[in-house]
Amino acid sequence: MRPPNIRKINSQKPEPEIIKEAATIIQQGGVIVFPTRCLYGLGADAMNPGAVERIIEIKQRPADNAILVLIHSKKQLEMLVEKIPPAAGAIMEAFWPGRVTLVFDARDTLPGLLTAKTGKIGVRLPGHPVAAAILRQVKDPVTGTSANLSGRPGCSRVPDMGRQIAGQVDLVLDAGTLQGGIGSTVVDVTEAPPRILREGQVTAGQIRGALAGI
């Protein structure tokens, strides 16, 4: 296991040269650790089956668990999902960027390891400035699964990550201590009405309020 390649990055005004370095690694099939609002995540090209497989190996994750995908604009949903129900549009308008992950019917062109062959894909538009900058630079969807071994807690500080993760990726972006906490609310919009799979930063009542007008 190699020593981790750790770069400090400004959490609010990320340095362009570091963002470019991280994006280039992802575009070349590599894996990075980067900050999201609550926890550090593992980023790789979501459309590259080899990169997705490497994420699974690093996390020691069962292949039957789907992997969250991050996008830089709503337009990217078209390459990932079969349709965008009106309920999804209402939730995105109310809560994106960040805070809510939406589960859609996935296009059958996506890597099987990404969807775990469930036919569904979880997607979020991230709110953290570093994550958003990386996605704009990469231009393609990026994985956003938490940077921890499967079954272990996620981490809000790079020093808590451990060499088992940091020593297996190509770059670690250290933005300091993150917000931590319960993470995003996960809503399955393939059902009518949408079903809340995990209540997180956005409450069930807030989701119902966003859907009241449709």
**Per-residue pLDDT tens digits for 65-108:** 899 999 999 999 999 999 999 999 999 999 999 899 999 999 99
Distance, in Å, from the CA atom of 198 to the CA atom of 195, rounded to the nearest integer, reads: 9
Rounded to an integer, what distance in angstroms lies between the CA atom of residue 178 and that of residue 81?
30
Q: Indicate the domain borders of the chain.
A: 6-211
- Average pLDDT over every residue of 170-190: 93
Contact 142, 44 (CB under 8 A): yes
Q: Exposure of 137 by Cβ count < 10 A (0-12 exposed, 13-18 middle, 19+ buried)? A: middle
Model confidence pLDDT, tens digit, residues 191-213:
999 999 999 989 999 999 999 97
The domain defined by 6-211 carries CATH number 3.40.190.10: no
| Residue 114, pLDDT score | 92
Predicted pLDDT at 8: 97
Q: How far apart are CA 90 and CA 207, in angstroms?
A: 9
pTM of the model: 0.94
Average pLDDT, integer, range 164-185: 92
